[in-house]
Structure 1
């Protein structure tokens, strides 16, 4: 059974990496930047930045498609209190930065969910305040780590 699953996984990865990329419409809730670094290298840069900062936390990192892509969940720590004020049910959204590093057509990209998705799903004044506080911090972090605006 394991051999069959491994074979299917390898076949799926091959199909993903060799199939022509489809360029879907991108919602306003996605921030996308081309990068000079490969996905794994970009993840390392972000991980190192977070390790050197008391303002940020790395809550999760996930290799996807056999390590071809990387997903990360990072938090701007000052935002946590606003999430709690807005109601503990908001913890289900794990309200942090959801970031993916991937390659498409030989170009590396960073894709991040824009924090406005949080208040769209759960409108609350405290959450809106937290998002307003965190937005500029994420912009500054992306600029410092990756040189993107």
Structure 2
């Protein structure tokens, strides 16, 4: 498993290096914000917030690109019931918060896959209701914890 992660990290670094000169178009499914913290500092703030808040869960936390970036998988816990109500096969869509912190050109960024991706993969009224609940919760957390507007 460690070899796979190292290979993926090396591949990600190669892709980042190749794409930094020619920026790719960002899909509307990504939410990207500049942050004032380093990637590691931002991740620590999110970890600390989740550790002290029962509304959230940290499902995964890992360094990427030799520690230059941090990936996190977090969940707004209220979302779980909506996902389960749409059919247990939808549990594979969890966690709904897929986040990366990285630095580019001396500026740190937060990149998050918009939680609405789950309704693209599995259209269901329950999932749409959960997304409507989760989106503002993520916005509030990022504003409170990272100062993102």
**Would the TM-score normalized by the shorter structure come out above 0.5?**
yes
Normalised TM-score (structure 1): 0.87
The aligned counterpart of 1:45 is: 45
- Structure 2 SS opposite 1:27: coil
Gaps of 5+ in 1: 1-5
In structure 2, distance between residues paired with 1:16 and 1:110: 18
In structure 2, distance between residues paired with 1:60 and 1:113: 15
Q: Is the 8 A contact 1:83 1:95 kept in 2?
A: no
Structure (1 or 2) with the larger CA radius of gyration: 1
Q: How does 1:99-138 map to 2 (within 5 A)?
A: 99-138=99-138
Cα pair distance change 1:95/1:17, threshold 3 Å: closer
The aligned counterpart of 1:141 is: 141
- Structure 2 SS opposite 1:46: helix
Verify: 1:36 aligned to 2:36, yes or no.
yes
Q: Post-superposition, which runs of at least 4 consecutive aligned residues in structure 1 deviate over 6 A?
A: 8-14
| Deviation (angstroms), 1:17 | 7.4
In structure 2, distance between residues paired with 1:32 and 1:16: 18
Cα pair distance change 1:81/1:106, threshold 3 Å: same
Aligned length: 143
| Deviation (angstroms), 1:95 | 3.8
| Deviation (angstroms), 1:18 | 6.2
| Deviation (angstroms), 1:19 | 5.8
- Structure 1 SS opposite 2:78: helix
Q: Is the 8 A contact 1:95 1:118 kept in 2?
A: no
Cα pair distance change 1:84/1:9, threshold 3 Å: closer
Normalised TM-score (structure 2): 0.87
Q: Is the 8 A contact 2:59 2:95 kept in 1?
A: no
Gaps of 5+ in 2: 1-5
